[in-house]
Amino acid sequence: MFSWIIGSSLKFRFLVLGAAVALETLHAYARNLSERIIPRGVETHEVVEIVLLLRDVLARSLFAKYQGYYNGSKSERSDHRKLDWHPNLAQLGKAAGTLALLLVLGAAPSAAWAFDRDGFKARAEATLAELNTKRLADSKATLARLDEMLALGIVGLKEYGASHPKYAKLMDAAIADSQAMKRMTDVEIEEKWGENGTAGDALGIPLKSLADFGEERAYLELVVGPAHQYIFVKKWESTKKARWLEQARDEAVELLKHLEAVRSK
């Protein structure tokens, strides 16, 4: 189910863009979705906001992809300006990742949700294969895949916290910080969520007390790992320096090693 939701994005794009969705419809959708995810700390108005932002994300994506049909021009810059007036576009990255999570969590009754380990692993391996080439033909697609991994990883953390109450608050803290992690520097994410990070101190679970490749650390890496790679890919986008992709590759290799400690359900 999770793979279908994330994998059918093109169909969803046309559905959203072609329907001219009214605010009342979005409210109804948000209410239905919220009934399933409010226990996880998300409110209806937040879901509505995210759905509205996603509409703009998808519009931008299709506009860029099919701009040649619009004006016969290859100028992506001029076409993007037509969308840049929207005041919410500054929040697009956060909205896209958060909505991916909401779709995953809200797609089925709570009793049925489970971490899609195979889907996560497939995406992790695809990302590593790209990074091994030392170049990214489509870095936006790579970032989108890392966002999908974050969304899937959050489900894994929720699942682990539910079955291991001792670590529930630590897992929830990582989930709450998951989008902020992408905006950290590589030093900041290491200082907070690395093996000797400070994120668990206030919860009475110092991260340095976790085994480097133990189960608890492995589950945290379902979020920390993709976020760390995201940081390096963004750095490569702005500088085109190969060392950032090399560091992203190192993180991808380590993430797959951690994944070995994550149990399949």
Residue 83 is predicted with a pLDDT of 47
> Which positions ≥6 away from 35 have C-beta within 8 Å?
none
Instruction: Find out whether 131 and 255 touch, Cβ atoms under 8 Å.
Output: no
Report pLDDT for 35.
Answer: 53
Instruction: List pLDDT tens digits, range 134-173.
Output: 999 999 999 999 999 999 999 999 999 999 999 999 999 9
pLDDT in tens, 224-252: 999 999 999 999 999 999 999 999 999 99
DSSP letters, 19-67, are HT--HHHHHHHHHHHHHHHGGGT--HHHHHHHHHHHHHHHHHHHHHHTH
Q: How confident is the model at residue 263 (pLDDT cuts 50, 70, 90)?
A: confident
Determine the Cα–Cα distance for residues 216 and 75; give it in Å rounded to an integer.
47
pTM of the model: 0.63
Which among 220, 236, 235 has a CA at the least distance from the CA of 177?
A: 220
- pLDDT tens digits, 204-217: 999 999 999 999 99
DSSP 263: P
What is residue 78's predicted lDDT score, i.e. its pLDDT?
Answer: 45
Residue with tokens 């100028």: 75
